[in-house]
Amino acid sequence: MKMVKSLILGSAAGLLAMSGAQAADLPVKAKAVEYVRICSLYGAGFWYIPGTDTCMKIGGYLRIDTTFNGGIYGGPAWSGDIGQGNRYANYFAARSRLALTVDTRTATEYGVVRTFGQANIQFSTLGNTTFNPNSLATNLGNNTNLLDAAGAGYVAVDQIFLQFAGFTFGKSVSAFASPWNGYPGNNNSFLMGGPDYVTGVNNIQYQAQFGNGVSATIGLDEPTVYNRTVVGNISVGLPATGSGVPAQAYGGVRSPDIVGNIRVDQAWGLFQIGGLAHLVNASYNVLNPGTATPNALSEISGHPESKWGGAVMAALQIKNLPTGAGDDFKIDATFAKGSTKSVISTSGASPQFLMFGDTGLAGGYQSIGFGAVTDAVYSGGFGGGATQGLILTNAWGVRGAFNHNWDPYWSTSLWGSYAQVRYDGDVGDLTSAKGALCSAYVAATGGLGTKTADFSCNPDFNVAQVGVTTRWTPVRNLTFSAEVGAFFLDQKFTGGSILAPAAPKPVALYEYKDQSTVFLNVRAQRNF
């Protein structure tokens, strides 16, 4: 009994000693847990970064879409293998994208300090519209950096900018763009007729607010990617393919684009006018034939004097239409001289149009239609070439959409555009853009054979687009949509000519003829 009693007393003493030690180790007061707080200053989805007065929102979307008889995101079949309609053309192309956005805002005595960035993680059909073995986009032997190879993919950057005290620094939408860029109601990224800066351009901007919805913005844009097409040195020669595109002879960037707008936002909608000044500058008069690369004579040959071109635009949105709740109508119009990208614009580069179709011409193999997109042309040579130097290209366009909500789940947009590209002068005047281009075109293609009796040259062209998009949103932020669009190329050549288009097309007689194409795009998108 004494032994048992001693064990019990000893155990109790040990437990008391342990409890005392543990009690001594506990903190006197537990630290307060810092929970994430909702930030209601800037709308839904923002929260305070713990320990700071900065609000953050992480968002984005996941999108999967496929285009039939076109490129990713509804690119019409207006060039390349898909424009030829040959066996290398992909009948459909798809892209899967995860877009992630990070938006931070901090209230200060100077106003809100904001940073914003969007990165797109995506995977597309290899080669997009082509699986031609001559293309580095699809030639596995020649390209070791295929971004869309199996298990690969890539990250693209849309916008990255900082805003402070009315200023914007970074990669953002140009002040020249309409509020909807190239998307008045369409899904596809190829509705032309006006500027499209949706993925941002490196710039510096300042916006002033005057009250009652009136604002003005001025800025400087870096033009290399978003506002350059071709400065064509005609003396280098045109390709015998019949595409009509002169050799690229743009010089290095010497000035930013100067842009600005005045905008009025009201309950009824908005109205905006904008302007852009763009410096068009060439490299040299003498360049290597065909490639426009420099040679030992380039620097001493001189260059044409640079010229300022530019563009003006107007945009209008009308809301609260009597056709239904949330319905609206958007339209914008643009005129450009020496800034053709402001009209023949996509979310990427300006296209060069080259399409083939059937023909009724006796002895003809097929028909051909093309449109050469340039900012300016000139004829090089010692002493400055043509007396007029750079001759700026003219373009104008209009686009718009009517957007209708059938009910909370279904909506439809009817959209369209029209644009013209014009070269100054007459065919018989070799000092004019039109005369010089036609002279070079005949010289490039004349050695291949005769032209038909009714052949005539005119590099002017028009483009038109029309389409309809229908969307179904079964639950909030989840939308399924289908879009059908048509593209029309109205070229101004007549007759026919023996041409040597890019392989696999044969050297043959081709009829100059207007061309058209249609596409179908289907999409699923989840916003978050």
pLDDT in tens, 3-35: 444 444 344 444 334 444 444 454 555 555 567
The reported pLDDT for the residue numbered 189 is 96
pLDDT given at position 31:
58
- Which tokens is 481 given? 């949509």
**One-letter identity of residue 194:** G
Q: Is the pLDDT of residue 101 over 50?
A: yes
Closest CA to 275 of 204, 339, 181: 339
Percentage of the chain modeled with pLDDT above 90: 81
Please report which helix (H) or strand (E) contains residue 443, including its range. Answer: helix 433-446
First vs last Cα of the chain: how many Å apart?
Answer: 74
CA distance 420 to 166: 37
> What is the residue whose two structure tokens read 């410096």?
279
Contact 425, 344 (CB under 8 A): no
Provide the pLDDT for residue 40. Answer: 93
The confidence band for 242, taking pLDDT boundaries of 50, 70 and 90, is confident
Instruction: Give the pLDDT score at 150.
Output: 81
Average pLDDT over residues 365-393: 83
- The model's pTM is 0.90
> What's the pLDDT at 291?
86
Burial of 24 (0-12, 13-18, 19+ CB in 10 A): exposed
Cβ atoms of 157 and 119 within 8 Å: the answer is: yes
Work out the mean pLDDT of the chain and round it to a whole number. 91
Is it the case that residue 509 has pLDDT exceeding 90?
yes
* Tokens found for residue 346: 């996509």
pLDDT score of 152 more than 90: no
Tell me: pLDDT of 274 over 70: yes
Q: Pick the residue with more confidence: 26 or 517?
A: 517
pLDDT(292) > 90:
no
Which residues, at least 6 apart from 113, have a Cβ–Cβ distance to it below 8 Å?
A: 105, 106, 162, 163, 164
Q: Which CATH number is associated with domain 170-528? A: 2.40.160
Give tens-digit pLDDT for 171-193: 999 999 999 999 999 999 999 99
Which residue would you say has higher pLDDT here, 321 or 11? 321
Which range among 31-35, 231-235, 385-389, 406-410 shows the weakest confidence by mean pLDDT? Answer: 385-389
Is 385 a residue whose pLDDT tops 90? no
Rounded average pLDDT over 320-325: 94
Question: Any idea of the CA torsion for 471, 473, 477, 479, to the nearest 10 degrees?
Answer: -40
What is residue 386's predicted lDDT score, i.e. its pLDDT? Answer: 46
Percent of the chain clearing pLDDT 70 (strictly above): 90
Q: Are 39 and 53 in contact (CB under 8 A)?
A: no
Lowest mean pLDDT of 54-63, 66-75, 274-283, 429-438, name the range.
429-438
Residue, of 349 and 99, whose pLDDT is higher: 99
Q: What is the pLDDT of residues 129-140, one digit of tens each?
A: 998 877 777 776
* Domains in the chain: boundaries: 170-528
Q: In whole angstroms, give the CA distance from residue 125 to residue 89.
A: 12
